[in-house]
């Protein structure tokens, strides 16, 4: 994976640390709104071994109102001004479904675009990523966050999401996007049972010949099964991440970097 000239090998899975600069994310909303909070958190994740830091400026929580484009762009610009200045050699991804936010973030120094909609929410996204020539994470979701859990009626959840992502990969390659990462979208328009079906069959997505990203950190698929809160779900997250690694995950997107790095080391025999 080529991140603005910096090459990443996938021989050993990577860990992507989550930084939500939002007031309403499901787990850490409101913790990192200000520079005095988010800069130390980035430093902590890097010290713990994060390979990539994923910056989200708009929550995808189904219970919150969507930011306007102007609002999102303002947060992206203000945050990245401080972040890139402080950590110029760190690889950052921008978590957005808007082409305009992706373009602004990459212009300011971000090296990866992480799109929860896989190009479905903004028709300009694929063209923008092709122009920017940065790695692109295509995630599957069934609809916008406030409607996605109304659309979980798959006949074959693994087969249908595989077909969906395969079409995205093909389209992106035709546009000249070389580095495409796929994400099944755990928790986005899936029931608890469907999430575990995807996790058990993660190896299927390796046949797309793209790195596979898994984001299950502290999500409801863990909390509902164990009857716990996101704050209590660290152990469950580590167990699920280990299963994802055993089933072929190349990138873990997590709130807790240290524990994820330990899981990678154990699963991959100390590498």
Residues assigned a catalytic role: 219, 253
Inter-residue contact 241 to 254 (CB < 8 Å): yes
226-253: burial string, b at 16+ Cβ within 10 Å, e else = eeeebeebbebbbebbbbbbebebbbbb
Phi, psi of 115 (to 5 degrees): -115, 110
- Nearest in space to 92 (alpha carbons), one of 173, 102, 69: 102
Q: For residue 107, what are the CA distances in angstroms to 8, 102, 178?
A: 21, 8, 19
Between CA 121 and CA 250 the distance in angstroms is 26
Phi, psi of 134 (to 5 degrees): -125, 160
DSSP for 170-188?
HHHHHTT---EEEE--TTS
Between CA 253 and CA 271 the distance in angstroms is 19
Inter-residue contact 22 to 71 (CB < 8 Å): no
């Amino acid at each position: 994976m080529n991140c603005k000239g910096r090459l990443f090998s996938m021989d050993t899975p990577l860990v992507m640390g989550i930084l939500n600069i939002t007031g309403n994310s499901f787990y850490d909303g409101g913790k990192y709104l200000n520079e005095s909070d988010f800069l130390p958190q980035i430093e902590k994740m890097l010290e713990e071994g994060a390979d990539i830091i994923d910056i989200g400026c708009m929550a995808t929580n189904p219970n919150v109102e969507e930011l306007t484009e102007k609002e999102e762009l303002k947060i992206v610009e203000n945050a990245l001004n401080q972040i890139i200045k402080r950590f110029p050699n760190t690889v950052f991804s921008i978590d957005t479904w808007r082409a305009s936010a992706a373009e602004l973030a990459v212009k300011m120094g971000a090296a990866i675009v992480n799109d929860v909609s896989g190009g479905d929410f903004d028709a300009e996204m694929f063209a923008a990523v092709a122009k920017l020539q940065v790695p692109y994470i295509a995630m599957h979701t069934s609809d916008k966050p406030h409607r996605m859990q109304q659309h979980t009626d798959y006949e074959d959840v693994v087969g249908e999401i595989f077909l969906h992502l395969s079409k995205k990969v093909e389209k992106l390659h035709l546009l000249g996007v070389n580095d495409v990462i796929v994400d099944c979208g755990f928790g986005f328009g899936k029931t608890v049972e469907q999430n575990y079906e995807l996790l058990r069959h993660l190896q299927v997505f390796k046949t797309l010949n793209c790195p596979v990203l898994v984001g299950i950190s502290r999500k409801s698929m863990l909390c509902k099964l164990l009857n716990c809160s996101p704050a209590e779900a660290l152990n469950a997250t580590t167990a699920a991440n280990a299963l994802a690694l055993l089933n072929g995950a190349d990138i873990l997107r997590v709130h807790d970097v240290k524990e994820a790095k330990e899981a990678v080391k154990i699963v991959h025999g100390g590498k």
